[in-house]
């Protein structure tokens, strides 16, 4: 895992320069081909606490295509912790590429039904996992946000007016809000349909800070809902690749970049604004598409 691989990609386009806007993309996806993006940052302090508490096993939760599951498997493997993934839904005939990779990294997978999955504490006791260090689904929590606070340290000249990032649990966004300059605007693009709990979920993680940058979360760019990727989104992602060599994922960053293009076209940014998009990774999730839908990856 090498944060030195992370770089900033400027986007050159008439639709930006017309309004005297600039857009840079922080390419966290470049950390690692599979374990890309924000998950590495979010896991850092959980792993540290698990080790401090002398736990030998970490357990967490996710779906069959979860970036969090794969990142956890990889990170635990690196630091010498055993890992267990509680996977939502019945095992299918062939496990997803995500789960196969997590398994190859030593993660023990436990499949539970969607009903069972809702009762996290019951699972922990039913499978005798009380001795394990538990990380929430998606890495949601204060330690995750503290890790995500370190993302902006990778930006050499942070003179942006807006920092724009995808939102799942809101953990990364909380970290960005706490590390942004007070005059910066942090905008989260939710990948979920109508998750009205998100604002509060983010606020709950901001407790270590008295003053922080203003933020907003936009809920209109979900393309039908979490995990939905209709043909117009795929077409948009192929176009982003052709025009900018910007690889995007179907769950988060495709919707994020679409939102930015849309907000610019609707003149939502003042002339002269300097935008930073956080490419949070997740490209391995594109493996769940059938072949040839994307012109990259």
Ligand X SMILES: *Cc1c(COP(=O)(O)O)cnc(C)c1O
What are the residues binding ligand X (CB under 6 A)?
Answer: 37-39, 42, 67-68, 138, 166-173, 249, 252-253, 280-282
d(C-alpha 212, C-alpha 203), whole Å: 11
User: Which residue minimizes CB distance to ligand X?
Assistant: 282
Nearest to 282 by CA among 160, 138, 94: 138
Residue number with CB closer to ligand X (23 or 282)? 282
Shortest Å distance, C-beta 17 to ligand X: 28
Residue closer to ligand X, measured from CB, 11 or 277: 277
Cβ at position 275, least distance to ligand X in Å: 17
Q: How far is the CB of 286 from ligand X (least distance, A)?
A: 11
Cβ proximity to ligand X, 1 vs 126, nearer residue: 1
Q: Are 246 and 257 in contact (CB under 8 A)?
A: yes
Half-sphere exposure of 226 (CA within 13 A, CB side): 12
Tell me whether residue 60 or residue 166 sits nearer to ligand X (CB atom). 166
CB of 118 to ligand X, least distance (A): 18
113 touches 142 (CB < 8 A): no
Contact 159, 182 (CB under 8 A): no
Among residues 281, 287, 221, which one has the least CA distance to residue 25? Answer: 281
**Nearest approach, Cβ of residue 238 and ligand X (Å):** 18
How far is Cα 283 from Cα 25, in angstroms, rounded to an integer? 15
Q: Which residue, 149 or 162, is less far from ligand X as judged by CB?
A: 149
Half-sphere exposure of 179 (CA within 13 A, CB side): 19
Q: Hey, what are 104's tokens?
A: 């190859």
């Amino acid at each position: 895992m090498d944060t030195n691989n992370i770089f900033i990609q400027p986007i050159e386009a008439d639709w930006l320069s017309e309004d005297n806007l600039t857009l840079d993309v922080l390419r966290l996806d470049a950390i690692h081909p599979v374990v890309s993006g924000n998950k590495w940052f979010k896991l850092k302090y959980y792993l540290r606490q698990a080790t401090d508490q002398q736990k030998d096993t970490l357990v967490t939760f996710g779906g069959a295509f979860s970036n969090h599951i794969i990142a956890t498997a990889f990170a635990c493997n690196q630091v010498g912790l055993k890992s267990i993934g509680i996977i939502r839904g019945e095992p299918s005939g062939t496990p997803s590429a995500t789960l196969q990779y997590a398994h190859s990294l030593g993660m023990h997978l436990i499949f539970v039904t969607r009903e069972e999955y809702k009762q996290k504490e019951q699972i922990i006791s039913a499978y005798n996992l009380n001795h394990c260090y538990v990380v929430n689904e998606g890495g949601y929590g204060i330690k995750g946000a503290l890790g995500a606070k370190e993302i902006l340290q990778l930006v050499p000249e942070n003179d942006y007016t807006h920092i724009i990032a995808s939102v799942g649990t809101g953990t990364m966004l909380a970290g960005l809000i706490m590390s942004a300059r007070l005059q910066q605007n942090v905008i989260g693009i939710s990948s979920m349909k109508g998750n009205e709990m998100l604002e509060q979920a983010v606020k709950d993680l901001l407790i270590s800070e008295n003053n922080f940058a203003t933020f907003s979360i936009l809920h209109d760019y979900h393309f039908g809902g979490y995990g939905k990727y209709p043909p117009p989104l795929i077409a948009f992602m192929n176009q982003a690749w052709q025009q900018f060599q910007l690889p995007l994922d179907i769950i988060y960053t495709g919707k994020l970049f679409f939102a930015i293009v849309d907000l610019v076209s609707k003149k939502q940014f003042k002339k002269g604004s300097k935008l930073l998009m956080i490419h949070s990774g997740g490209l391995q999730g594109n493996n769940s598409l059938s072949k040839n839908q994307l012109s990259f990856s």
